[in-house]
Structure 1
């Protein structure tokens, strides 16, 4: 039996069951069941302990917003590391402090893998920060990443890890996110809690003469003038969000351009539900879609192109349906949790762990 310690940088709820479907698979753990994509792990002879962040009011905000890594989570697991065959950290926030301690002490066993969703340090080139990361990551056995553009960051700043880094596409639960039998209502939907180009989307939509409503879910506050047919909700539960996706004519995801993974979870979830998606052409989206086939790409920061693409789909509802059907097939063929689990498993095998 291989024992894995899995550190995540979000809250995981321990629940007796998920019959009400109020949580997606990465956000809950049922006693006696494997967690998240480990349910699809090719080797069934594993035991996975999941540790999320250790939340103390005020100090947690310091960890999250100022330090950008979790100290208490690391301190909680350090005494027990030797009982595991493998450590996996999801995101730099849950990885870097542990890696720093192990590098300082010269410890490399058990091996430590990072599933890197933020180019380790956000892809920044600040030398003082990079020096710390370069030292810390000497104890790390390998990197798994979901956006091909991140490889350049490793090649330049972490060459000792570049040969031990593997691209594995992100995957979603295509059974939890699947098409629903709802009639389309007269709105399009945009979703995102951060790293969204709301200015371009709102400016573009405001220029369109239509009675269709733009519903935006995610931002707490927008300092932008909104037309009467634009409404904003700061947060909705995942069950309601799925209903909103299902009833929308199509989805728009306006991304800012960052050199690391962001937005593809929302993109893939919407595609899995059989929706046409207009998404900004960035490093985070191009690995996952074929323009005009299973999604529509829009130029970065281009109000006119965004306006044209939205108008095009509004005027061609049959095409939106066809693109949505193709999107669902793309998820089933390439971007499920099973595909992701198998990819991570194969990457770990290549690392000879």
Structure 2
């Protein structure tokens, strides 16, 4: 029997829904069908956001999307990102819905106590399966939400194949550092200043506010995603410097996975689950948190070792294709949907037997 799933993701909107897709084309077999549920308004661009918190107006859009998913004729709901999962959970409470829910790419950023925790526990208690993207998040979210750990599963963050359209810039080589969340730019800036290496940092203005910017660093604010990927491909090194902060659950996965799938030699601070993605010395280079010495030594080593950079880049691309690709994630999604459907059937049969 075929099971139909509604997919509610913030990157589906009424303007792109006719051409949008996610992992559904990569789910093998014919046991599951899918229907995409759009937002009524496009998701704001990340560099246009004025707050790190989701505003009330955007929550109303999520609630409408959640209602549309539950009102559909689908047998279950797949959500992408925690806001959509929470909105679906609240709608379920209001209408006493019992549709199974799979929450994919569940990363709340910070596990805060108080009202936020109470709302999260209330809205997410009925989610059947959470997919998180670092192993540490299993324990963090299990405790934060008061749910059993077996409802959470670690799967690596996946990205679509990225075309390799640019070669390394050899006349004026540079380091690229992309992204904003919880970045340790002070340590990176000190390292490249000490080594006198040109570095291009594509980030939001808030991530470098108040910092002294050395002459070796360029900050092209507001550039497009395509421009970021170009910089990543042209750079001699990609660096993801991460700053440990209390309560933060994960950071940097998108940037490091994209660098790996593009086959770029990569240096990452060993925090926020970086070791779940990188095999040190084989698919990338891990450095100690808050260590100028460790960062400087790593950059100096890889900057001058062509053979090591080539090895890391080739290994990273091969590893990413095997573990971080859409087809790989599609196979995991099929397995999870099968397990959720089977568990629901088992529970329904048990209730039927008890009623008799």
Any idea what the Cα deviations from partners look like across 1:276-311, whole Å, max 9, x if unmatched? 100010133111110111100011121221111111
Distance 1:319 1:215, change over 3 A: same
What are the within-5 Å matches in structure 2 for residues 173-188 of structure 1?
A: 173-174=160-161, 176-178=162-164, 180-184=166-170, 185-188=172-175
The equivalent of 1:42 in structure 2 is 28
Verify: 1:134 aligned to 2:135, yes or no: no
The equivalent of 1:346 in structure 2 is 335
Verify: 1:172 aligned to 2:159, yes or no: yes
In the alignment, which of 218, 232, 236 is matched to residue 223 of structure 2?
236
Distance 1:68 1:169, change over 3 A: farther
Any idea what the Cα deviations from partners look like across 1:112-165, whole Å, max 9, x if unmatched? 22114324xx34241332222212222322211111111112332334343222
Distance 1:13 1:191, change over 3 A: farther
What are the within-5 Å matches in structure 2 for residues 6-85 of structure 1?
A: 6-10=7-11, 14=15, 30-31=18-19, 35-44=21-30, 46-52=33-39, 54=41, 64-66=53-55, 70-78=59-67, 81-82=70-71, 83-85=73-75
In the alignment, which of 48, 69, 88 is matched to residue 78 of structure 2?
88
Question: Is the CA contact (8 Å cut-off) linking 1:219 and 1:232 kept in structure 2?
Answer: no
Distance 1:218 1:68, change over 3 A: farther
Question: Is the CA contact (8 Å cut-off) linking 1:251 and 1:276 kept in structure 2?
Answer: yes
The equivalent of 1:320 in structure 2 is 309
Contiguous gaps of at least 5 residues in structure 2: 343-356
CA distance in 1, matches of 2:226, 2:141: 37
Contiguous gaps of at least 5 residues in structure 1: 16-28
Question: Is the CA contact (8 Å cut-off) linking 1:171 and 1:338 kept in structure 2?
Answer: no
Secondary structure (helix, strand or coil) at the match of 1:201 reads: helix
Task: Give the deviation of 1:260 after TM superposition.
Answer: 2.8
Question: Is the CA contact (8 Å cut-off) linking 1:69 and 1:93 kept in structure 2?
Answer: no
Secondary structure (helix, strand or coil) at the match of 1:88 reads: strand
CA distance in 1, matches of 2:24, 2:249: 24
Task: Give the deviation of 1:331 after TM superposition.
Answer: 0.9
Provide the aligned C-alpha RMSD in A: 2.8
The equivalent of 2:290 in structure 1 is 301
Q: Greater shift after overlay, 160-169 or 275-284?
A: 160-169
Question: Is the CA contact (8 Å cut-off) linking 1:107 and 1:139 kept in structure 2?
Answer: no
Secondary structure (helix, strand or coil) at the match of 1:131 reads: helix
Equivalences, count: 330
Distance 1:319 1:229, change over 3 A: same
Q: Greater shift after overlay, 289-298 or 342-351?
A: 342-351
What are the within-5 Å matches in structure 2 for residues 203-282 of structure 1?
A: 203-208=190-195, 210=196, 212-221=197-206, 222=208, 223-257=210-244, 259-282=248-271
CA distance in 2, matches of 1:106, 1:238: 41
Question: Is the CA contact (8 Å cut-off) linking 1:281 and 1:298 kept in structure 2?
Answer: yes
CA distance in 1, matches of 2:144, 2:230: 43
Any idea what the Cα deviations from partners look like across 1:319-351, whole Å, max 9, x if unmatched? 111111111111122111111121122122222
Question: Is the CA contact (8 Å cut-off) linking 1:282 and 1:300 kept in structure 2?
Answer: yes
Q: Greater shift after overlay, 319-328 or 158-167?
A: 158-167
CA distance in 1, matches of 2:52, 2:200: 33
TM-score, normalised by the number of residues in structure 2: 0.82
Any idea what the Cα deviations from partners look like across 1:235-281, whole Å, max 9, x if unmatched? 32233222222211010011233653421111111111111100010
Distance 1:352 1:312, change over 3 A: same
TM-score, normalised by the number of residues in structure 1: 0.83
Question: Is the CA contact (8 Å cut-off) linking 2:121 and 2:146 kept in structure 1?
Answer: no
Task: Give the deviation of 1:52 after TM superposition.
Answer: 3.4
Question: Is the CA contact (8 Å cut-off) linking 1:250 and 1:276 kept in structure 2?
Answer: yes
Q: Greater shift after overlay, 139-148 or 234-243?
A: 234-243
The equivalent of 2:106 in structure 1 is 117
Task: Give the deviation of 1:67 after TM superposition.
Answer: 5.1
